[in-house]
Each structure stands twice: as C-alpha cells, then as structure tokens.
Amino acid sequence: MLFDIDGTLLRRAGPHHRLALIEAVRRSTGIETTTEGVPVQGMLDRDIVRLMLINAGATESFARRHMPAIIAHAQRIYTRTCPDLRRRVCPGARMLLYKLSRKGIATGLVTGNLTRIGWKKMESAGLRQYLRYGAFAELAADRAGLVKIAVREARRRGWIDRTSPIALIGDHPNDIRAARANHVRSIAVATGVVGADELAEHAPDVLVPDMRSLSIEMLIGEMLIGNAAALR
C-alpha cells in the first residue's frame, strides 16, 4: 500500500517546507525566489524549485547546475525547522496505517517531498513506525516514475510478488494518473486542496471524503477483487 504525504497523510503542515525551499535557493544561488505562482500541489519538490528559479529569471541550465546543492540545503534546513505535526494527521490516516501494519501489509510512501523532508514529516507526525520505505522527489522525473520505483523495491525485498494487489492513496489528480500509469489501484481522498468533484472527473478506482471511510476489510477486499492481475 502506497501513500502520498501532503493532503493525504498530513494537511496544513505549515509554511516550513516552502520556506526551506526558498532559503535553500537563496543559500545556493543568492537568488530571491517565491512559491507564489507555482502550482505546488501534486508536484515534486525538484520541479517546484525549478519553476521558482525560472520565475525569478534563471535559465533551465542554471537550475540544473545548482539543483544538487539546493536539494541538500533544503533537506538540512527542513529537518532543523520541522514543527510538531501530530495534530496535522488527516482523519483516519493513523488508524488505517496501524491496521495495515497489524495485518503485515507493506506500506510505503510515494511523495513529491525530498527524502529527508518526507521522513522528517512522518517522524514529527508519529507515523514513521508504520512505513517501511518510500520513493521521493529526487529519485524520478515524475510521480509515475516514483510509483514504479516503489513497486520494484517492494518486489525486491519480497514484500509483494506479481500477483499482489497494490494501491496508491493520494489526494491529487497526479496521484490518480501515476497509479493508472503503473496499473495499480487508485484510491483518492478529498482531504487536500482538490475537491471530490474534481477528483471524480479523473475516475479513480475509489473516491472517499477521507480515510475514515476506508476500513481495512473493504480496502483489502476491493483490492483483491479488482486488482488480482494488476501487476503484469
């Protein structure tokens, strides 16, 4: 079972992530940037930084050249400034993760967050213990690529095989598209900035207001029925 972070496991986590990206760009390049005008929802951190730089007048080659340093700075800054996120966990998320863990179902992250930022959020929210692994922003060109990485890693570790049902739970159309591109089940939750009506337009396999509506029996049952041959 794969989970997005922002808008799915957590919501309204504060400005600290955004500010870490801005400060990382400043320290690495001396350029003042902003996330204003950047559609950050559903995007990978690396792409957010690239657009921040382009909007500030930088070139694509400049952004590529400085990206490794920006990524390193951003992760260090966020791990020092991350607030307590235990009260920012989305409704039903903690209980669902707990139930999946109790049943021995492998759970991981597929997120646009950079690696250390994503794990720090999970630690601060008290959710790290339920998540075995993750695929993060710097590891692939897009979210579909991250899902592919996560599935491959779960297979490599022997947690799933080619008959195992897999689902991606997310709050954005990009999550639905990434699931579809990898032939895994898409579970959309309307806990982010995208409303249920807009999510429905993208035809996820399951659409719920929040994870309180996803009982473990319902989730596993639907996955087994609908996705028995999803991995080909």
Q: Residue 90 falls within a domain, yes or no?
A: yes
Residues 100 and 206 in one domain: yes
Q: In the prediction, which pLDDT does 94 show? A: 97
| More confident position, 41 or 232 | 41
pTM to 2 decimals? Answer: 0.90
Indicate the residue among 81, 103, 129 that finishes a domain: 81
| More confident position, 223 or 220 | 220
Residues 6 and 73 in one domain: no
Residues 99 and 177 in one domain: yes
SS3 assignment, position 187? strand
Residues 37 and 123 in one domain: no
- Could you tell me if 189 and 170 are in contact, meaning their C-beta atoms sit under 8 angstroms apart? yes
Residues 28 and 105 in one domain: no
Residues 67 and 107 in one domain: no
Q: Residue 164 falls within a domain, yes or no?
A: yes
Q: Residue 220 falls within a domain, yes or no?
A: yes
Q: How far apart are CA 80 and CA 22, in angstroms?
A: 15
Q: Which domain holds residue 50?
A: 16-81
Q: How far apart are CA 45 and CA 98, in angstroms?
A: 28
Q: In the prediction, which pLDDT does 162 show? A: 81
- Could you tell me if 157 and 195 are in contact, meaning their C-beta atoms sit under 8 angstroms apart? no
- Asked whether the predicted pLDDT for residue 43 surpasses 80, the reply is yes
Domain count within the chain:
2
Residues 49 and 104 in one domain: no
Identity of the amino acid at 160:
I
Q: In the prediction, which pLDDT does 220 show? A: 61
Q: Residue 231 falls within a domain, yes or no?
A: no
Q: Residue 232 falls within a domain, yes or no?
A: no
- Could you tell me if 63 and 25 are in contact, meaning their C-beta atoms sit under 8 angstroms apart? no
Q: Residue 213 falls within a domain, yes or no?
A: yes
Q: Residue 99 falls within a domain, yes or no?
A: yes
The tokens for 131 are 């998540």
Q: In the prediction, which pLDDT does 218 show? A: 63
SS3 assignment, position 37? coil
The tokens for 139 are 């590891």
Residues 49 and 129 in one domain: no
Q: Residue 143 falls within a domain, yes or no?
A: yes
| More confident position, 217 or 61 | 61
SS3 assignment, position 53? helix
Indicate the residue among 30, 50, 81 that finishes a domain: 81
Interval 179-197: pLDDT, tens: 999 999 999 999 999 999 9
Q: In the prediction, which pLDDT does 222 show? A: 55
Confidence of residue 151 (pLDDT cuts 50, 70, 90): very high
Indicate the residue among 81, 102, 123 that finishes a domain: 81
Q: In the prediction, which pLDDT does 230 show? A: 37
